[in-house]
Amino acid sequence: MNDNETSRLSRLTAILLQLQSKRLVTATSLAVKFDVSVRTIYRDIRALEQSGVPIITEEGKGYSLMEGYRISPVTFSEREANALITAEQFVLKNKDASFIQDFTDAITKIKSVLRESAKDGANLLSDRIAIDQNSSYNRTSNQLSSLQLALTNFNLVKMKYQKADDDATSERIIEPFALLTVNENWLLLAWCRLRKEFRFFRLDRIKGIQVQNDKFEPHKMTLQEYFDKHKRRD
């Protein structure tokens, strides 16, 4: 499968999720969302129909899915859906753009498997709930999602890190261990191979990362054990 085919397959899946998460979707809105022409969306809709997806076309209005059609057996109660919608507002306060995008995509998938009544309620709640935040802070990183994957898969990370007192950067090879959020920002706890010790790194000072194929040996302790160990030292 070449890159164009992979890209189209991803888009077809995403279009199907959009159809499941809303009552009606227009070709124009889909074209804008996926940065393609309206004609491409027409072809994509036709391809989904040919694959057996029951799409209903309302002339002059848009597309919808036949009531009851689902691509996933997962279901959520209305209370569970509302809890996740509320959690989304806390996520939107976060300082990492990659994390926000991943969570927003996950919420779209969750909405796509709700019953119609619960779907309407979830969309209404999205418009009617807000969490106050300090507007003087801007998002400060885009690295969280990549670092999460490196952490869970034990991949070494090569990064450029800005020093606290000037604009100079140093290059480090690190072993990601834990992620913490403090004062609306993220900290990475990692074993630094340059300093040969655990260090905290602020994500807003990480100026670039390359997740390596090379693996590191998992550290045989929990995050709480790390804190307990360093508390005794203090």
Is the pLDDT score of 1 beyond 50? no
Query: Residue 210's pLDDT is what?
Result: 95
Is the pLDDT score of 135 beyond 60? no
Residues in the chain: 234
Rounded Cα–Cα distance for residues 197 and 177 (Å):
12
Query: Residue 43's pLDDT is what?
Result: 93
Tell me the pLDDT tens digit for each residue of 78-89: 777 778 777 887
Least-confidence region, from 45-54, 115-124, 168-177, 186-195: 115-124
Tell me the pLDDT tens digit for each residue of 164-175: 777 788 999 999
Bigger pLDDT: 40 or 67? 40
Q: What's the chain's average pLDDT?
A: 83
Is the pLDDT score of 69 beyond 90? no
**Band of residue 12 on the pLDDT scale cut at 50, 70, 90:** confident
Residue range 179-206: mean pLDDT, rounded: 88
pTM over 0.85: no
